Amino acid sequence: AMQTIPRDPSLDSTLDVVREGFPFIWNRVRNLHSDIFQIRLMGQRAICLHGPEAAELFYDPAYFVRTGAVPRRVQTTLMGLDAVQTHDGAEHRCRKDAFMALMTPQSRGRLMRLLAREWQAAAEYWAGQEEIVLFDEAQEVLCRAACAWAGVPLPDEDARRRARDFGLMVDAFGGAGPRHWRGKRARTRTEDWMEGLIKQIRKGRLEVAAGSPADVMAGLGDADGELLSARMAAIELINVVRPIVAIATYITFAAVALHEYPAYKGLLRADEEYTEYFVQEVRRDFPFAPFLGARVRQDFTWRGCRFDKGTLVLLDVYGLNHDPRVWPEPNVFWPDRFRHQAISPYNFIPQGGGYYDTGHRCAGEWITIETLKQAVTFLNTGIRYEVPAQDLRYDLTRMPTLPASGFVMRQVRPTG
Ligand code: HEM
């Protein structure tokens, strides 16, 4: 029988999304006792989905498309206009293949070696400072290594401000007013810079290693074989570097977890496997992506509920990571859960679900995990430091969010 989708009583939920932030969908799943409900968002009807079964539906390209799903304000800050995230079918596949070609073990290994060098150099610099803010420092470390890996020349004196610009694009995604404009300006500056590089590469004036991200994006064509515009190639090259810089957010959360649960420090030293559980728990427990959007490709019915073509559908990412039906004691930071937890493409989706090649799942998930493991080991064994009193709380109503202090470290000394 046809079911009516439970309705949020609010006439328009746009303000509630802003007020509640990350737990917006999850709050209503619990109040309405339903993994599916409908709202009005910016004047249009939208359906919210929660849970592994809903994620499986959301990631079936037979039912959903991404074209027209990402708000312009998010495209002009976070990901760039008309980027890989907004395409479907052959056009998406063409671009996604280019990203996935950068994710071979050899290519990732090269990034890890560059990162190891940058962490070491940073530690020596920090030793000469009274105190440092880990979030800012990590952004710079990641930016330097990511650019070197990508084939993007980055003069020393530019590293700080370029890293900051990548960070501002991410910081803008759930923001309005000044935060949005700052992100937009950062994106324009970065696109201008990268577009110049793409043009130089295409003219043969800048040599880049074959198969490097800059080389791959400069040569990328669309599904008809037509070379992407230099601006579009720049946007996709930014889609490689920016999210690597964004790993600074998870690194900062990982530092907080190490500080607040020092008992794990010994376990991390003793057991290589444990480092993986630890970073998976960081990705589960700490918020980054709140929810994802898609539009209904064609009319269909799911669990008796009608989905009309064109309807905006939001999939809950944050809430699934805190659902006790999947994660016992979800609000406890407990890496050991990953020893036994069965992971499917749909029940653990901090960076999207489904499949890498055919769907929209994050191309950089392996890089994120490896980078985090390396950073956790570095924080735990590569340096010694003191953590002065500071405000480590993070605000769930702000998207994205971060520990308020950015994690201040004092008296940093390399150990080796
Ligand atoms: C897509 C999160 C790191 C490249 C995504 C999506 C999420 C996400 C939620 C969307 C999935 C969907 O639309 O279904 C994150 C988080 C990261 C991270 C939280 C950690 C900071 C990275 C890294 C890279 C990367 C390191 C590349 C080096 C991409 C690309 C897409 C994507 C290219 C678009 C995939 C597509 O539309 O097919 N990411 N990501 N991400 N991510 Fe990441």
Å from CA of 173 to ligand 1 middle: 14
Q: Which atom of ligand 1 is nearest to the CA of 353?
A: 14
What is the model's pLDDT at position 276? 97
Is 1 a residue whose pLDDT tops 80? Answer: no
For a ligand 1 pocket test, name from 240, 362, 368, 370 the mutation site with the most ligand atoms within 8 angstroms of its C-beta. 362
Q: Is the CB of 243 under 6 A from ligand 1?
A: yes
pLDDT (tens digit, 9 = 90+) per residue, 114-171?
999 999 999 999 999 999 999 999 999 999 999 999 999 999 999 999 999 999 999 9
3 occurs within a structural domain: no
**DSSP bridge partners of 294:** 313
Residue 122 alpha carbon to ligand 1 centre in Å:
26
Nearest CA to ligand 1 atom 32: 362
Identify the CATH number of the domain in which residue 394 sits.
1.10.630.10
Whether 27 maps to a domain, the answer reads: yes
Three-class DSSP category at 155: coil
The closest residue, in CA terms, to atom 23 on ligand 1 is 364
Distance from Cα 364 to the centre of ligand 1, integer Å = 6
Any ligand 1 atom below 6 A from CB of 252: no
For residue 27, count CB atoms less than 10 angstroms from its CB and return exposed for 0-12, middle for 13-18, buried for 19 or more.
Answer: middle
Which two three-digit tokens encode residue 34?
Answer: 């339903």
- Give the tokens for residue 7: 């309705």
The pLDDT of 227-232, averaged and rounded, is 98
Residue 316 confidence (pLDDT) above 80: yes
Atom of ligand 1 nearest to the CA of 349: 9
Domain total of the chain: 1
pLDDT tens digit sequence for 319-353: 999 999 999 999 999 999 999 999 999 999 999 99
Query: What is the mean pLDDT of the segment spanning 244-254?
Result: 98
Give the pLDDT confidence score for residue 121 in this predicted structure: 98
Distance from C-alpha of 74 to C-alpha of 95, rounded to nearest angstrom: 20
β-pairing, 36-41 with 44-49? antiparallel
**Position in ligand 1 atom list of the atom nearest CA 66:** 13
Domain annotation covers residue 1 = no
Among the residues of 151-177, which ranges form H helices?
Answer: 159-171
- The protein residue whose alpha carbon is closest to atom 43 in ligand 1 is 362
Give residue 272's pLDDT: 86
Question: Residue 367 domain-assigned?
Answer: yes
Residue 201 Cβ < 6 Å to ligand 1: no
Query: Which residue segment(s) compose the domain that 221 sits in?
Result: 14-414
Is 289 near ligand 1, meaning CB less than 6 Å away? yes
Alpha-carbon gap, residue 135 to 405, rounded angstroms = 9
Give 376 Cα–ligand 1 centroid separation in angstroms.
21
Q: Please give the mean pLDDT across all residues of the chain.
A: 97
Residue nearest to atom 5 of ligand 1 (CA): 362
Share of the chain above pLDDT 90, in %: 98
- The finding on whether 288 has its CB within 6 A of some atom of ligand 1 is yes
- Ligand 1 contact, 79 CB (< 6 A): no
Packed helices 230-260 and 365-377: angle between N→C axes, nearest 10 degrees: 40
Q: Is 213 in the pocket of ligand 1 (CB under 6 A)?
A: no
Burial string for 202-221 (b: 16+ CB within 10 Å, else e) reads eeeebebeeebbbbbbbebe
360 lines ligand 1 (CB under 6 A): yes
- Minimum-distance ligand 1 atom for the alpha carbon of 371: 26
Alpha helices in 293-397 (DSSP H): 337-340, 365-377
Which atom of ligand 1 is nearest to 359's Cα?
38
User: What is the SS3 assignment for 40?
Assistant: strand
The answer to whether position 6 is within a domain reads no
* Whether residue 352 has its Cβ less than 6 Å from ligand 1: yes
Q: How confident is the model at residue 217 (pLDDT cuts 50, 70, 90)?
A: very high
Instruction: Identify which of 351, 366, 371 to mutate to test ligand 1's pocket (most ligand atoms within 8 A of the CB).
Output: 351
Ligand 1 midpoint to CA 352 (Å) = 7
Give the mean model confidence (pLDDT) for residues 382-388: 98
Is 357 a residue whose pLDDT tops 80?
Answer: yes
Give me ligand 1 centre to Cα 187, in Å: 17
Of the candidates 368, 178, 358, 213, which has an alpha carbon nearest to the alpha carbon of residue 289?
368
Is residue 416's pLDDT more than 80? Answer: no
- Tracing tokens 């191309």 back to the chain, one arrives at 363
Ligand 1 mean position to 288 CA, how many Å?
11
5 found inside a domain: no
Q: Is 95 in the pocket of ligand 1 (CB under 6 A)?
A: no
Give the percent of the chain with pLDDT over 70.
100
Ligand 1 midpoint to CA 322 (Å): 20
Q: Which of the four pLDDT bands, split at 50, 70 and 90, describes residue 40?
A: very high
Q: Report pLDDT for 397.
A: 97
Ligand 1 pocket check for 367: Cβ under 6 Å: yes
pLDDT tens digits, residue range 55-86?
Answer: 999 999 999 999 999 999 999 999 999 999 99
Residue 19 — very low, low, confident or very high, per pLDDT cuts 50/70/90? Answer: very high
Q: What is the mean pLDDT of residues 303-326?
A: 97
